[in-house]
């Protein structure tokens, strides 16, 4: 089924984030600079300044699942006429839908997370409190709650099926660290070589240390308004949301079936059809791609699933064509979750907007018109295209 009813309905006119580097240093020194609401407030204030707005211009509010909707509104002094709680990807889709329906005109999307200073567990019987993110604890009776272990098993089978090698997977970590080295606000800025990657220790074989995402505190915010209003009020060039898509694989999810049998492929292909048909664009039109990368293997899965290379060719594509800023298809151009910051997909949205605006300095993709963001976690595929 094709539809264009959310194409270019919304536009991003402001983005903001907390100071990842300074706050991370303070947390490592034993301090707790802010709680999740403090990080959210800092990011919101920065996004408002970026958009040239005040909080009184905001009539819609979507908050990330790490904070309570009502409390964020209270802390920020906002009484929205419409609101919701969603992850980074669905927040963008919901904002566009609310604008299309006339429920809100200018929506703040806000995320804050003190995961590092609060010592949040992403594995074990108390992962995320034991019941908030059920996908982490479905396998608890077998002691199998580590996301790293799940993706290690998934990538091991991907290696057997496609022939991709550890060295080819290492291209992801090397490329994203190169991007981070050119990103002033990234946490891990020292470049690494492919040999550095191969020499690094296994965490859960075949995944190495550099295949795992960072864990740090921070906040991110975006301001989305109607495309029509953006033309009138935007302080900077508005970035249009050209298309969105979503498709879930829930059947068999708790048995790991969508991961191990098809590597999320059916969901990705269905989602790709939605987002490309809605936008009237295709993989060949994208100047950069942002991929949710809690683990590096998300990247080759997505390259094949969204049609950037043929099935079974992700390893060759990354090695020969390249996914670095110097390659054919720049991926995660600020360093992603592996090297920039782990903001659970929110930082990827900000980078997409900044690339389209052309304000990324040394890491800027030349003449960047369209950036494709995609996420595939636990069998749920979500896709967004940002552009001029």
Residue 246 has pLDDT above 80, yes or no: yes
Q: What is the pTM of this model?
A: 0.95
Closest CA to 292 of 257, 327, 274, 268: 268
Task: Specify whether the CB–CB gap between 254 and 138 falls below 8 A.
Answer: yes
- Helix/strand/coil (H/E/C) assignment for every residue in 212-267: ECCCCCEEEEEEEEEHHHHHHHCCCCCEEEEEEEEEECCCCHHHCHHHHCCCCHHH
Residue 359 has pLDDT above 90, yes or no: yes
Of 14-18, 103-107, 127-131, 347-351, give the lowest mean pLDDT range.
127-131
Going by the DSSP 8-state scheme, the letter that residue 316 receives in this structure is H
* pLDDT for position 219: 98
pLDDT band at 129 (very low <50, low <70, confident <90, very high): low
Task: Specify whether the CB–CB gap between 357 and 206 falls below 8 A.
Answer: no
Q: Report all structural domains of the chain as residue ranges with CATH numbers, in order of start.
A: 10-119+217-233 (3.40.47.10), 144-214+242-387 (3.40.47.10)
* pLDDT for position 138: 64
Distance in angstroms (rounded) separating the CA atoms of residues 174 and 203: 17
Distance in angstroms (rounded) separating the CA atoms of residues 11 and 353: 10
Q: Is 239 helix (H, G, I), strand (E, B) or coil?
A: strand
Closest CA to 207 of 245, 250, 280, 150: 150
Which residue matches tokens 């009138």?
Answer: 232
* pLDDT for position 65: 92
Distance in angstroms (rounded) separating the CA atoms of residues 263 and 329: 21
pLDDT in tens, 37-60: 999 999 999 999 999 999 999 999
13 CB neighbour count, 10 Å cutoff: 27
Task: Specify whether the CB–CB gap between 294 and 259 falls below 8 A.
Answer: no
User: Who contacts 378 (Cβ-Cβ below 8 Å, separation ≥6)?
Assistant: 135, 253, 258, 259
Task: Specify whether the CB–CB gap between 46 and 273 falls below 8 A.
Answer: no
Distance in angstroms (rounded) separating the CA atoms of residues 155 and 206: 8
Strand bridging mode 60-63 / 82-85: parallel
Helix (H) or strand (E) holding 12: strand 10-17
Task: Specify whether the CB–CB gap between 328 and 334 falls below 8 A.
Answer: no
pLDDT in tens, 279-317: 999 999 999 999 999 999 999 999 999 999 999 999 999
Q: Is 326 helix (H, G, I), strand (E, B) or coil?
A: coil
């Amino acid at each position: 089924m094709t539809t264009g009813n959310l194409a270019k309905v919304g536009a991003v006119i402001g983005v903001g984030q907390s100071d990842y580097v300074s706050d991370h240093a303070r947390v490592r020194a034993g301090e707790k600079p802010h709680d999740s609401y403090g990080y959210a407030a800092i990011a919101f204030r920065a996004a408002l300044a970026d958009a040239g707005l005040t909080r009184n211009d905001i009539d819609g509010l979507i908050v990330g699942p790490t904070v309570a909707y009502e409390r964020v509104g209270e802390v920020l002094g906002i009484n929205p006429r419409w609101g919701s709680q969603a992850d980074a990807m669905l927040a963008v889709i919901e904002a566009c839908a609310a604008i299309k329906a006339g429920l809100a005109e200018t929506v703040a999307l806000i995320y804050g997370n003190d995961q590092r200073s609060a010592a949040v567990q992403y594995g074990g019987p108390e992962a995320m409190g034991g019941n908030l993110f059920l996908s982490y604890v479905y396998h608890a009776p077998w002691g199998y709650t580590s996301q790293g272990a799940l993706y290690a098993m998934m990538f091991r089978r991907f290696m057997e099926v496609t022939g991709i090698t550890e060295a080819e997977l290492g291209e992801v970590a090397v490329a994203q660290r190169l991007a981070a080295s050119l990103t002033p606000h990234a946490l891990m800025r020292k470049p690494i070589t492919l040999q550095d990657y191969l020499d690094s220790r296994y965490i859960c074989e075949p995944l190495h240390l550099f295949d795992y995402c960072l864990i740090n505190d921070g906040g991110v915010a975006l301001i989305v308004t109607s495309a029509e209003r953006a033309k009138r009020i935007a302080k900077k060039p508005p970035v249009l949301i050209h298309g969105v898509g979503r498709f879930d694989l829930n059947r068999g999810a708790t048995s790991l079936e969508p991961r191990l049998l098809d590597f999320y492929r059916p969901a990705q292909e269905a989602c790709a059809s939605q987002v490309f048909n809605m936008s009237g664009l295709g993989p060949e039109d994208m100047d950069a791609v942002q991929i949710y990368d809690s683990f590096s293997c998300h990247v080759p899965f997505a390259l094949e699933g969204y049609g950037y290379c043929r099935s079974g060719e992700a390893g060759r594509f990354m090695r020969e064509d390249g996914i670095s800023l110097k390659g054919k298809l720049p991926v995660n151009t600020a360093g992603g979750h592996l090297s920039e910051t782990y903001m659970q997909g929110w930082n990827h949205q900000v980078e997409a907007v900044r690339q389209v605006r052309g304000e990324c300095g040394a890491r800027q993709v030349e003449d960047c018109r369209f950036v494709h963001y995609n996420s595939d976690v636990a069998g749920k595929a979500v896709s967004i295209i940002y552009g001029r």
